[in-house]
A = this chain, B = another copy of it.
Amino acid sequence: MTTPLRVLIIGGVACGPKAGARLRRLMPDADITMIDKGELVSYGACGLPYYVEGVFPNIKALTHTQVGLPRTPEFFEKTKGFKVMNRTEALSIDREKKTVRVKNLTTGEETDLSYDKLVLATGGRPFRPPIPGIHLKNVWFMTHPDDADTLVKEVESQGLEKAVMVGAGFIGMEMAEALIYKGLDVTLVEMQDQILPGVLDKDMADYTQIHLDDNDVEVVLSERVTALLGDDADDKLTAVQTDQNTYDADLAIIAVGTRPNFELAEAAGLSCRRGIIINEYCQTSDPDIYAGGDCVVNHYAGKGAGDYMYAPLGSTANKQGRIIANHIAGRPSPFSGITGTGIVKAFDFTVGRTGLTETQAIRLNLDYESVIWGGPDKPHYMKDARYLLIKMLANRKDRKVIGVQVAGMGAGDKRLDVAASTIFYGGALDDLADIDLAYAPPYSPPIDPIAACAQVLSNKLDGLAHCISPAEAKRRMDQGEVVLLDVREPDENKMLKMAYDKVIHIPLGELRDRINELPEDTDILPFCKISLRGYEAQRILNASGYNRVWFIEGGHEAWPYELDYLGM
- Complex contact B62–A446 (CB within 8 A): no
Q: Is the Cβ of B436 less than 8 Å from the Cβ of A301?
A: yes
**Nearest CB of B to A310, in Å:** 14
**Interfacial chain B residues near A24, Cβ < 8 Å:** 539
- Check if B381 sits within 8 Å of A446, measured CB to CB: no
A191 within 8 A of B: no
Q: Across the interface, name the chain B residue whose C-beta is closest to A58.
A: B381
* Cα–Cα, bound, A382→B437 (Å): 27
A66 touches B380 (CB 8 A): yes
Residues of chain B with a CB closer than 8 A to A354's CB: 436, 438
Determine if B543 and A508 form an interchain contact, defined as CB atoms under 8 angstroms apart: no
Number of copies: 2
- Chain B positions within 8 Å of A430 at CB level: 333
Partner of A438, one of B322, B342, B439, B444: B342
Query: Which stretch in A91-99, A233-241, A420-428 binds the other chain?
Result: A420-428
A451 (CB) vs chain B CBs: closest residue: B319
Ranked nearest first, the 8 interchain pairs of A and B with the lowest CB-CB distance are A28-B543, A61-B381, A78-B509, A315-B439, A425-B425, A343-B438, A421-B421, A314-B446
Could you show 25 A-B contacts with beta carbons less than 8 Å apart? A24-B539, A44-B441, A55-B383, A56-B381, A66-B376, A78-B509, A79-B533, A314-B439, A314-B446, A315-B436, A315-B439, A333-B430, A335-B434, A342-B440, A343-B438, A343-B440, A343-B443, A344-B440, A345-B440, A413-B443, A414-B414, A417-B438, A420-B437, A421-B425, A421-B435
Which residues of A are in contact with B by a Cβ distance under 8 Å?
A: 14, 21, 24-26, 28-29, 44, 46-47, 50-51, 55-56, 61-62, 66-69, 75, 78-81, 170, 174, 301, 313-319, 322, 331, 333, 335-345, 350, 352, 354, 376, 379-383, 411, 413-414, 416-418, 420-422, 424-427, 430-431, 433-444, 446-448, 455, 462, 464, 488-489, 491-492, 508-510, 512, 529, 533, 535-536, 539-540, 542-543
